[in-house]
Amino acid sequence: MSQNDFTIANQGFPAFRADLNSALQALASLSEGATEPSTTFAYQFWYDSTTDILKVRNADNDAWINLFNFDQATDTVSVEGTDLVDDTTPQLGGNLDTNTKNIEFGDSSSATNNRLKLGAGPDLQIYHDGSDSFVNETGTGSLIIKGGSTVQIQASNGEVSLTANDNGAVSLNYDNATKLATTATGIDVTGTAVTDGLTVAGTSLVQQTKEKMTISATAATGTINYDALTQAVLYYTTDASANWTVNVRGDGSNTLNSIMSIGEALTVVFLVTQGSTAYYNSAFQVDGSSVTPKYQGGSAPTQGTASGIDAYTYNIIKTADATFTVLASLVDFS
């Protein structure tokens, strides 16, 4: 440590020379030391060897002002106060040039760290939480993504998931192949559309339809629960063994009444295989309540077709809550 009080007393020449040399050495080394000089002066320099910071005494001689940080290992220096870690309110005087480097954020564990925040709120936040990445718009407005002519969302391997074209189609892809695209008149679906229901407000043009069918090696007898949510056609391939009751419902968890609105109609078909002794549908129910069908021709069947297949068609019309009219027909195929 080289420090001095810079006061040279009247003394003999040898002591005077030693005191002068000490003062000059302190001046040359900027009063270097681990602690501040015991005697200080306004505008005095002190190199703090504990923190490697060069300091100057303020005009009032009551505090030190940090000037420079020295890195003795790399022999470099930085201006004190330009370190963004120390400056809690840094401001740019111009555009920030990354100088071919990156601006990196760590994983964000809360709204107070490692996030890019935009807006006065801030309303828009972009961050990664260690597992997922987020673009989070929390303000009162909308999150708007714009492109010059086309906006795409891609997977990490470059496959396109969504394409939005200016004044054109919006396309949804599966495995990089378009499956749904908007058109000037509606939508274009490539492949099979699986829906829980379909409502057509206007007229429709259908090229071909396929109905879901359940084929079961079962003999018609007793009460047969027909689940309308499972199939449109039920086919029993084993010979009927007795007259039977058909109970139409939504499925084991849903009533038919709950899946139909008043004014809607539903058609189901039951195909029954008959042996040498033929049987027939002797009763009909909806959700467990008896309904008497109105059969085509005016009469309910009293027998089946021996050694054939009887096709029962039921058109179920909901006229009020839990109230149904059923129009039925029987066609034998033998």
Q: What sign for the dihedral angle of Cα 142, 148, 154, 156?
A: negative
What does 120-181 look like in DSSP terms, one character per residue?
TTT-EEEEE-SS-EEEEE-SSS------SSEEEEE-TTS-EEEEEETTS-EEEEETTEEEEE
- Tell me the average pLDDT across 48-77: 91
Q: What is the DSSP letter of 20?
A: H
Query: Residue 313: its pLDDT value, please?
Result: 98
Query: Residue 1: its pLDDT value, please?
Result: 59
Query: Residue 82: its pLDDT value, please?
Result: 59
Question: Which residues, listed in sequence order, are joined to residue 328 by a DSSP beta bridge?
Answer: 295, 314
Phi, psi for residue 15 in degrees, rounded to 5:
-70, -40
Query: Residue 208: its pLDDT value, please?
Result: 85
Q: What is the DSSP letter of 95?
A: P
Query: Residue 177: its pLDDT value, please?
Result: 94
Query: Residue 105 — pLDDT band, cuts 50, 70, 90?
Result: very high
Task: Take residue 128 and report the two structure tokens written for it.
Answer: 């990664």
Worst-scoring range by mean pLDDT, 2-11, 232-241, 306-315? 2-11
- Tell me the average pLDDT across 281-296: 98
- Tell me the average pLDDT across 127-139: 92
pLDDT tops 80 at residue 251 = yes
Identify which has the larger pLDDT, 199 or 282: 282
Amino acid identity at 133 = S
pLDDT tops 90 at residue 4 = no
Cis bond leading into 122, ω under 30°?
yes
Report the side by side order of strands in the sheet with 150-154: 150-154, 160-165, 170-174, 177-182, 187-189
Query: Residue 7: its pLDDT value, please?
Result: 79
Query: Residue 257 — pLDDT band, cuts 50, 70, 90?
Result: very high
**Domain residue extents for the chain:** 13-79, 108-137, 150-189, 213-333
Query: Residue 106: its pLDDT value, please?
Result: 93
Query: Residue 202: its pLDDT value, please?
Result: 85
Query: Residue 163 — pLDDT band, cuts 50, 70, 90?
Result: very high
Residues 24, 26, 30: CA angle, nearest 5 degrees: 120
- How does pLDDT run across 191-249, given as a tens digit for each residue? 888 888 788 888 888 888 889 999 999 999 999 999 999 999 999 999 999 999 999 99
Residue at token pair 């709120």: 121
pLDDT tops 80 at residue 19 = no
* Selection from 42, 72, 77 nearest residue 56 by Cα: 42
- Tell me the average pLDDT across 19-46: 85
Q: Is 211 helix (H, G, I), strand (E, B) or coil?
A: coil
Query: Residue 85: its pLDDT value, please?
Result: 63
Query: Residue 83 — pLDDT band, cuts 50, 70, 90?
Result: low
Query: Residue 61 — pLDDT band, cuts 50, 70, 90?
Result: very high
- Tell me the average pLDDT across 66-92: 79
pLDDT tops 90 at residue 22 = no
Contact 244, 273 (CB under 8 A): no
Worst-scoring range by mean pLDDT, 8-12, 107-111, 280-284, 289-293? 8-12
The third-level CATH classification (topology) of the domain covering 213-333 is: Jelly Rolls (2.60.120)
Worst-scoring range by mean pLDDT, 17-31, 55-69, 279-293, 296-310? 17-31
Task: Take residue 277 and report the two structure tokens written for it.
Answer: 């002794």
Residues 154, 160, 163: CA angle, nearest 5 degrees: 95
Query: Residue 21 — pLDDT band, cuts 50, 70, 90?
Result: confident
What mean pLDDT is reported for the chain?
91
How many Cβ atoms sit within 10 Å of the Cβ of residue 78? Answer: 11
